[in-house]
Chain A
Amino acid sequence: MLRRILGRGQPVAAGVPAATAEPTQPLETETEKHDYAVASEWELMWYKFKRHRLALICGVVVLLLYVVAAFVEFIAPYNPEAQNPAAAYQAPTRVHFVDAEGNFHLQPFVYGTTSQRNPDTFELEFVEDTSVIHPLQLFVRGDSYRMWGLFDANLHLFGVEDPNVRLYLLGADRQGRDMFSRIVHGTRISMSIGLVGVVMSFVIGIVVGGISGYFGGTVDLVVQRIIEFIRSMPTIPLWLGLAAALPADWSILQIYFAITVILSLIGWTGLAQVVRGRALALREEDFIMAARLSGTSRTRIIVRHMVPSFMSHIIAALTLAVPEMIIAETALSFLGLGLRYPAISWGVLLQEAQNLRSIALAPWLLAPGAMVVIAVLALNFFGDGLRDAADPYKR
């Protein structure tokens, strides 16, 4: 009973008459430091979200991923297309703090690598040359690139000064390209395709769901049946069919947009249902009726009461829809029906890991898969946290 009154995550002073809240005793929680009585919805959401430790951490991870996506050229140490046949399937370069003589170095360093054939197995083996230390450095000059299509630069976040020593943090692929740089480059497409796709589904979803929820009745009935029909279609074959219909001579950009459209054509149904559910629930709220009885116009009720009331829910739903899109893109690209070379996305990178031999030889080719898992988990937990915080007034 008490729990019900207090509400599980409800901030402290709910129900404290402001007059008696004049501190007879200091209130210890952070919520109280800010004047709770004048905290707006978004502030309350923030208080609530903050308590969700995991969601907070995941939120930071998501943010980092998008920062990476924005600055790929700068963060990746190499041009993702730079080949080096001598380094095919080279294992990840080991980063050392202690050198061969046992001396500790504050600055991490790598050794140069030479390859040689094992005389018994005839396999290529990579041996560290411990004679020269190559320290890892921040802001090194390296491969030049064109940043956002605006200006040329060759500065990279980190790397090795000596252009003859290659740093393969996550190993190299068949053509000796740096996997780390490729994964960083893949972040841009993989993370953004989710966003762009979700924005598209959101537009369709909010319009259809809004119409369905606002008008109700027969319109609602028809729209809901259509949504159920779309949802009942098996997604993978549908995607396959649509993707196969894309002209082969399209540019990367065109394919990219075509794929997002295909993804959002299915993705909007979930969002439409969220919007409809909120709209239906809101129609019954006492405060909506109170506004009507105060003479407030229909438009004003929608704009000032209804939209703000479901905005937070929509944002949470959007966040949870992004990972679905990422998975979908990865799946399509992996099957070779989505983006393809020369575009770089995690799904495209995973194509390299399709044959057993390369996985046995170079398990680091699965690293893009790990990125997908990290990104999807982070977005899901972040979205969960947002959803829980989305209604700070829940009693």
Chain B
Amino acid sequence: MSVAEQNAARSSDTARARHRLLDVRKLTKHYPITEGLLRREVARVRAVDDVTFHVDTGETLGLVGESGCGKTSTGRCLLRAIDPTSGEMVFDYGDGRVVDIAKLEGRALKDLRKDMQMVFQDPFSSLNPRWTLLDLVGEPLVAFRVAKGRELEDRVAELLRRVGLRPEYLRRYPHAFSGGERQRISIARALALNPRLVVADEPVSALDVSVRAQTLNLLEDLQQELGLTYIFISHDLSVVQHICDRVVVMYVGQVVEVADTSSLFFTPKHPYTEALLSAVPKPDPDLASSRIVLKGEVADPSNVPKGCAFHPRCPYAVDHCRQVEPKLETLGDGRQVRCHRAHELSLSGVE
């Protein structure tokens, strides 16, 4: 069966049985800060702290937040690029096999790579400059001994065509390509093994403005054709609103709000989400925004404030927020929010 047929088969499968592909429960990644020769732990950076969310097949889940919020660490834990401190990441292959990614080792972990791939932010550093496109895009195929020789070339050419690059470029090196094209190469490589889930970490942030739309459209087209599921990590809320079905908002390692995209953007429930939305500069001079300018800076993940991590910057904070850490609670409509005052506040979203 050719790649295309396999994909077609799978995408019709997924259309029939949309299931929970990945269930992340209480995922935590702490980095100890050590001092001295004996490496005594003096503090810990709570990069990812008790993160829970899930992803269904065929959807695009956005992970948003500012630098240091743990979105990238979360993405890397999911792929076991780094090992989580604790927590579960249950991956359901959909054919009866259900695994906890956090516990996988050796062969099983390698097998997972066939179904989970990553697209990196920086299209320059994520491609080995010494390799040709054939080597780069073909690397996963070679690693899993899927194809070699003539067949490898055909498969890679096919992948290149799929992401809009000419198959004749097989023998070229990445330095001959611009940022936007290199990101296509990265995408082709991520798709080589027909993954179910692609974690895209800021895939368009490093690209020129006029090239971003091409790449976003390509990602959407590929999702349609191949029935892919995306976890889309980004700090750019306009891109997130454009491409994501559901969004997880993170602040200092924690999930503060989870909702489907339109609810989140139009009726945010967490004051941080509201402030984030308000802070985005809008390309429309008439939207003289009544902007909420937050005080202070993102909290230091090695020294998280007591109570709600957001309280020092929150315009709605009350004493309770300073004392007690809020839990992520599920509201009536299935939305989740980590805020004591979620029920009483009426926050404004985008126009």
Contact = CB atoms under 8 A, between A and B. Distances in A.
A93 to B, nearest CB: 54
Contacts of A292: 81
Contacts of A305: 128
Given A40-B130, A286-B125, A290-B120, A297 B143 contact: yes
Contacts of B114: 295
Contacts of A221: 37
A293 B117 contact: yes
A104 interface: no
B32 interface: no
B181 A17 contact: yes
B171 A18 contact: no
Contacts of A289: 81, 120
Given A37-B173, A293-B79, A309 B189 contact: no
B81 A296 contact: no
Contacts of A41: 129-130
Contacts of B173: 37-40
Interface string A267-303: 0000000000000000001110111111111001000
A256 interface: no
B126 interface: yes
A296 B175 CA distance: 23
B53 interface: no
Nearest to A225: B37
B140 interface: yes
Contact of B172 (A37, A309, A393): A37
Contact of A286 (B120, B130, B192): B120
Nearest to A391: B129
A294 B128 contact: no
Interface in A117-170: none
A293 to B, nearest CB: 5
Interface string B235-255: 000000000000000000000
Contacts of A38: 132, 171-173, 176
Given A15-B178, A19-B166, A294 B172 contact: no
Interface residues of B, number: 38
Nearest to A395: B124
A36 interface: yes
Nearest to B126: A286
A258 B287 CA distance: 80
Interface in B106-120: 110, 113-114, 117-118, 120
B179 interface: yes
A309 B181 contact: no
B179 A290 contact: no
B81 to A, nearest CB: 6
A231 to B, nearest CB: 19
Contacts of B177: 15, 17-18
B127 interface: yes
Interface in A248-263: none
Contact of A287 (B127, B132, B172): B127
Contacts of B181: 17
A16 interface: yes
A221 B39 CA distance: 11
A288 to B, nearest CB: 8
A393 B126 contact: no
Interface residues of A, number: 36
Contacts of B128: 287, 291, 305, 309
Contact of A294 (B124, B143, B166, B179): B143
A11 B143 CA distance: 32
Given A294-B189, A295-B110, A18 B139 contact: no
Interface of B is mostly: loop
Contacts of A293: 79, 81, 113, 117-118
Contacts of A295: 110, 113-114, 140, 143-144, 193
A290 B126 contact: yes
B154 interface: no
A308 B120 CA distance: 22
Contacts of B37: 221
B329 interface: no
A14 interface: yes
A6 to B, nearest CB: 13
A69 B114 CA distance: 56
A44 interface: yes
B179 A15 contact: yes
B127 to A, nearest CB: 6
A16 B176 contact: yes
Nearest to B176: A37
B266 interface: no
B31 interface: no
Interface string A290-331: 111111110010000100110000000000000000000000
B122 interface: yes
B247 to A, nearest CB: 24
A13 B176 contact: yes
Nearest to B112: A295
A294 B140 contact: yes
B143 A17 contact: no
A294 B320 CA distance: 47
A299 to B, nearest CB: 12
Contacts of A309: 128, 130
Contacts of B125: 285-287
Nearest to B122: A286
23 contacts: A15-B178, A18-B176, A19-B166, A21-B176, A37-B173, A38-B132, A38-B172, A38-B176, A290-B118, A290-B126, A290-B127, A290-B186, A291-B139, A293-B79, A294-B140, A295-B110, A295-B113, A295-B140, A295-B143, A295-B193, A297-B143, A305-B128, A309-B128
- Nearest 5 pairs of A and B residues by beta carbon: A37-B176, A294-B140, A286-B126, A295-B143, A295-B113
Interface of A: 11, 13-19, 21, 36-41, 44, 221, 285-287, 289-297, 300, 305, 308-309, 392-393, 395
Given A16-B178, A290-B189, A295-B140, 4 more contacts: A36-B176, A39-B173, A40-B173, A287-B127
